Amino acid sequence: MKVNAMKKAFYLLFALAVSSASAQQHATAQPAKYQPIVNFTAEQDHQHMMKQLGIKALRPGPSGDESAPNHANYDEALANPYPNLPELLTLKNGKKVTTPAMWWNQRRPEIVEEFEREIYGRVPKNVPKVTWKTLISEREYVGWIPVNAKKMVGQVDNSSYPLLDVNIAMTVVTPANAKGPVPLLMMFGRSELPAPAQPPKESLEKINAALKELLIQNDPSLKAVFEKYPAYNPITAATPNFGPPPAGDPPTTHQLLAAGWGYALIEPGSIQADNGAGLTKGIIGLVNKGQPRKPDDWGALRAWAWGASRGLDYLETAPAVDAKRVGIEGVSRYGKAALVAMAFDQRFAMGLIGSSGEGGVKPHRRNFGEAVESLTSSGEYHWMAGNFLKYGASEATFGSKTPDDIPVDSHQLIALCAPRLTFISYGIPEQGDAKWLDQQGSYMATVAAGPVFKLLGAKELGVGNDYKTAKMPGLNVGLLDGELAWRQHDGGHTDAPNFKYFIPWAEKFFKK
């Protein structure tokens, strides 16, 4: 019996030892199953891409400081060293595009391919699925307007590379008293509820009593303070503001709700970081399993646009939203992203593109303010595909390239939005919408995009197609008669002053 007992004990110990060893081996082997994340600095990542492309030197970008030796050009006489934009309605084989079918089936795919390969990068075919979940759903008030507000998270499937998590943050707000599905504008920005519901008075009193007790435990001297001021509470109830509105235009979200629209706020940083060091993380890093990009991989602008499209996937399932009337909006770098989203995803019915500059509406070939080299040689290269760096190269295995070598330009990006509602917005330098953005060049590109809108049965700006001689209309003069629209307001680096024009402009076309 003793021998049997000893044998049993031995086998038990042996089994435990093997199990423990196996667990340890599994624990050490598990991380090795996945390549570790490459943690480059932005400078290291930039150098890594230059090496892949065979670039030895890049031309420096112009300085925004007008007193600097390499200051940006603001002389209109020197602004067009490459005056001819790439052909819009001519196939690569030289044949003219004369019908909508030729545009959709032949010319448009040619332009899309060149933008993907050379400018913004390709969205990989194996991008994981996004599952949307509602974190908070509640009734709120925005001013006097009752709304249904939802705080959402889009969880990206990371089962192929669990070392990275991507959770897209989005808030969706719709009027509570709407009689049916409403138009909605998705805006790049911080995802937050407009007026989170507050606990009732009784619950708030309990919270304050518990909080005071904890504070006294942490610092007994606070007991005397609370006794001296017995009516004081650390947390006070938020008081809704139902008073008269402040002077000037209401906030953009209030304008949308007052017009019977909804809005969504989607947070770009939850999709992809706005820096080069983040390119091995976020959605780009997740798909690349923590490794650096290849030259035609997508940059941050395309990633943000992809995230907006995933938000639209959710909105198409939301009963409160008219999915056929969802738009996209952004300002500055997010204006670029909004234009990219509109161009590549034809489900977006409208776009409000604010002060987007280089990489957005501004032509690459213009030498005015921000330049191609501003992106290729700076901390903003991560917005673009790696291949874009070639066009700022002064010394490389392929020689050198200039902006005139770029096969496409911004007028073609705008044209990819046709015939949908596309509103180009800028402010003025005197109020902070810097000359750097090249408002005049952006107007020229908008004019140059017009022939595609016209070909597809939509109305363009109505000023002709000669972009080389096109001059901006006067300040606060809107060209709003067509599906392609332009307006330069008298504010700064924002599109807020144009919302009161954008909403009725869009609704005019909804009625069609």
Directed axis angle between helix 300-315 and helix 333-344, to 10°?
60
> How far is residue 464 from each of residues 61, 242, 399, 509, measured CA to CA in Å?
33, 48, 39, 21
Report the pLDDT averaged over residues 18-41: 63
- DSSP assignment, residue 105? I
289-299 confidence digits (pLDDT tens) = 999 999 999 99
pLDDT value of position 160: 96
Report the pLDDT averaged over residues 14-29: 41
pLDDT value of position 124: 97
pLDDT value of position 176: 97
DSSP of 451-487, one letter per residue? Answer: HHHHHTT----SS-S-TTT--PPPTT--B-SSSEEEE
Determine the Cα–Cα distance for residues 61 and 79; give it in Å rounded to an integer: 15
Helix H or strand E segment including 156 = strand 145-156
Residue 292's contacts (CB-CB under 8 Å, 6 or more residues apart) are 38, 40, 45, 48, 49, 279, 280
112-140 confidence digits (pLDDT tens) = 999 999 999 999 999 999 999 999 999 99
Residue 30's pLDDT band, with cuts at 50, 70 and 90, is: very low
Rounded to 5°, the CA angle 294-299-301 comes to 165
SS3 143: coil
Q: Which of 80-89, 199-208, 425-434 is the least confident region? A: 199-208
SS3 190: coil
Which of 364, 307, 367, 294 lies closest to 334 in space, CA to CA? 307
437-476 confidence digits (pLDDT tens) = 999 999 999 999 999 999 999 999 999 999 999 999 999 9
Radius of gyration of the chain (CA): 28
Which of 510, 458, 512 lies closest to 482 in space, CA to CA? 458
Report the pLDDT averaged over residues 62-76: 92
Q: Return the percentage of the chain with pLDDT > 70, whole number.
A: 92
Q: Which domains does the chain have, with CATH numbers?
A: 76-194+251-510 (3.40.50.1820)
pLDDT value of position 227: 86
Which string of b and e fits 154-190 if b means at least 16 CB within 10 Å?
bebeeeebeebebebbbbbbbbeebeebbbbbbbbbe
Q: Does 419 sit behind a cis peptide bond, omega within 30 degrees of 0 on the bond before it?
A: yes
Could you tell me which residue, 8 or 219, shows the higher pLDDT? 219
Whole-model pTM: value is: 0.89
Q: Which two tokens stand for residue 249?
A: 């235009």
Residue 17's pLDDT band, with cuts at 50, 70 and 90, is: very low
pLDDT at residue 26 tops 60: no
Q: Which two tokens stand for residue 145?
A: 């307007």
Residue 209's pLDDT band, with cuts at 50, 70 and 90, is: confident
331-383 confidence digits (pLDDT tens) = 999 999 999 999 999 999 999 999 999 999 999 999 999 999 999 998 899 99
Strand partners, 487: 425
Q: Which of 83-92, 155-164, 246-255 is the least confident region? A: 246-255
Mean pLDDT of the chain: 92
Residue 240's pLDDT band, with cuts at 50, 70 and 90, is: low
> How far is residue 437 from each of residues 96, 246, 383, measured CA to CA in Å?
33, 30, 16
